[in-house]
Structure 1
Amino acid sequence: MPSGRYSFHDTHDDTPLGEERFSCARGPSGWRYTAQTFSASGEPEGSIDLTLDLHSRPLRLELRHRGWQIRGGLLDGLSWVRSHQDDPTGEHAREGTERAHAFMGRSPAFLVATARLLRLQPGGATRLRLVHFTDPVLAPHTIDQGWTLEATDIHATDSGPLLVERYRVADLGTGEESIVHLAGDVLLAAPGIELEQLETPPSKAVDGPAEAG
């Protein structure tokens, strides 16, 4: 069960933006990632609870940030409800649906989930539609991205060989590209995100149920 801490920073001037303390694991239904998020000053800001099914599709998502909340999942495409804690009756909640493949947001969980959903082979590339929830109000936006698995490399570690995947991710609306490095169900590096602490090694894969024993 990998657990640790990510830090976030502005990609232009490296201003600290906060951190995320996470844990993730495979289970009978697929894969689950949970985390608490904090501001740059250390104040609690929210949480994320993402569960994937056995095919790495978003079975359930609960995302909170500064009072805003998203509850969503896979239902004839992607469906979600956006609400605020100051509206306990849900009178002003807004529902959304989209023919998209997966959710996206600031958390590294979304990058891991998307990579696992695609299951690309080295050199493989594809494009997909995502529902992106942007801070600070978790506003939903539909975006199109292109993903390419450029290479996989084996790195020697104290706990054995570690397979690292290097993806090139392109925003098909703006043309902006970024490089994402993943090892199993842990993000090693991406623009604006750093892995600061990892208490246990990454799982080798998140596809399928946990192995017996």
Structure 2
Amino acid sequence: MPRGAYLHLASGVTEEFQCAPGPAGWRYVAPGVDLTVDSRWRPARLELRTPAWTLRGGAAGRDLLWVRGEREHSAEALAFLGPSPAFLVTIARSLDLAPGASATVSLVTITGDSLATRTAPQRWTLASVDPHPTDLGPLPVETWHTTDLETAETTEFHLAGDVVLSAPGLELTRLDSPPTL
């Protein structure tokens, strides 16, 4: 069960996390973030909290449903994409791409302390998978590229199992146990 800490560079906030596979999927817990996904890596339950707002949601068929404040929302989308690295893990795993392959998906992006949402198309590409030597044997590290198709902004992040090793604005500062592969 991986445990550790991420530093959000822009805000200076440290996200202490733990995640683990379960009988029906995978769960990630950190202060203000509780995300559970099913065996297909679709969001079964999401709760995000800021001092002023709470967002709760999950998948129902092809749609995502969520409540922010007292308003209900829905959109046909693959997943939520929010400020926690948990979202990068779940989207990458749900796509299950081979190296060099890409997929265009609709995501509900969640931003800011107000937990504002918008639905946006993105292209996700698994650029490569490279083995990195560790004391426990080679660790497969995936390099992902994401492109927001509305803004053309492209980012890159690195993923090993269920742990984001690096991403823009994010630093893995502590990992107490190896990623689940």
What's the TM-score once normalised by structure 1's chain length?
0.83
Aligned residues: 180
CA displacement at 1:17 relative to structure 2? 3.1
Alignment partner of 1:72 is 2:57: yes
CA-atom RMSD in angstroms: 0.9
- Which amino acid letter does the alignment assign opposite residue 180 of structure 1? F
Q: Using the alignment, how far apart are the partners of 2:165 and 2:103 within structure 1?
A: 22
In the TM superposition, 1:1-213 aligns within 5 A as 1-10=1-10, 16-36=11-31, 47-76=32-61, 77-83=63-69, 93-204=70-181
1:156-196 deviation line (CA, Å, top 9, x unaligned): 11122100000111111111111110000000001001100
Q: Using the alignment, how far apart are the partners of 2:98 and 2:45 within structure 1?
A: 27
CA displacement at 1:114 relative to structure 2? 0.3
Q: Using the alignment, how far apart are the partners of 1:171 and 1:17 within structure 2?
A: 25
Q: Using the alignment, how far apart are the partners of 2:74 and 2:101 within structure 1?
A: 29
Contact 1:66 1:137 in 2 (8 A): no
Identity rate, percent:
50
1:103-130 deviation line (CA, Å, top 9, x unaligned): 0111000000000010000010011011
Match of 1:160, SS state, is coil
Structure 2: unaligned runs, 5 residues or longer: none
Question: Which structure would you say has the larger Rg?
Answer: 1
- Which amino acid letter does the alignment assign opposite residue 131 of structure 1? V
- Which amino acid letter does the alignment assign opposite residue 79 of structure 1? L
Which aligned runs of 4 or more in structure 1 are off by greater than 2 angstroms?
none
- Which amino acid letter does the alignment assign opposite residue 71 of structure 1? R
CA displacement at 1:144 relative to structure 2? 1.1
What's the TM-score once normalised by structure 2's chain length?
0.97
Contact 1:159 1:201 in 2 (8 A): no
- Which amino acid letter does the alignment assign opposite residue 7 of structure 2? S
